[in-house]
Homo-oligomer: A and B are copies of this chain.
Amino acid sequence: MDAKIIKLKPILKKDKTREVLLDKAAQVFSRQGYQSASLKEIASAAGMKAGSLYYHFASKEVLMIEVLERSIKFISDTVAEEIEKLDDDYPFEDALNAYIRGHLTAILKSPDYTTTTIRNNGQVPKSVQAALHPKREHYEQQWRNLMIQGKAEGVIRADVDEQLLRLMVLGCLNWSSVWYKSGGASIDTLVDQYTDVFLNGCRKQGVK
Q: Which residues of A contact B (CB under 8 A)?
A: 31-33, 35-36, 91, 93, 119, 121-123, 150, 154-161, 164-165, 167-168, 170-176, 178-179, 185, 189-190, 193-194, 196-204, 207-208
Chain B residues contacting A36 (CB-CB under 8 Å) are 35, 123
Choose among B170, B174, B190, B200 the residue that contacts A203 (Cβ–Cβ < 8 A): B200
Check B203 against A199 for contact (C-beta < 8 Å). Answer: yes
Q: Which residues of B contact A159 (CB under 8 A)?
A: 196
Which residues on B sit within 8 Å (CB–CB) of A122? 31, 119, 178
- What are 8 of the A-B contact pairs (CB < 8 Å)? A33-B123, A35-B36, A168-B172, A171-B176, A172-B172, A174-B175, A197-B198, A198-B201
* Closest beta carbon of chain B to A62's beta carbon, Å: 18
Contact (Cβ within 8 A) B208 A201: no
Contact B121 A197 (CB under 8 A): no
Contacts of A174 in B (CB 8 A): 171, 175
Interface contact A123-B208, CB-CB below 8 Å: no
Q: Which B residues lie within 8 Å of A165 (CB)?
A: 193, 197, 202
Residues of B close to A201: CB separation below 8 A: 197-201
Known: A167-B179, A171-B176. A160 touches B202 (CB 8 A): yes
A157 and B204 contacting across the interface, CB-CB below 8 Å = yes
User: Is A199 touching B202 in the complex (CB atoms < 8 A)?
Assistant: yes
A175 with B170: CB separation less than 8 A: yes
Residues of B close to A208: CB separation below 8 A: 91, 93, 155
Give chain B residues whose Cβ lies under 8 Å from the Cβ of A175.
167, 170-172, 174-175
The CA-CA distance from A173 to B197 in the complex, in Å, is: 16
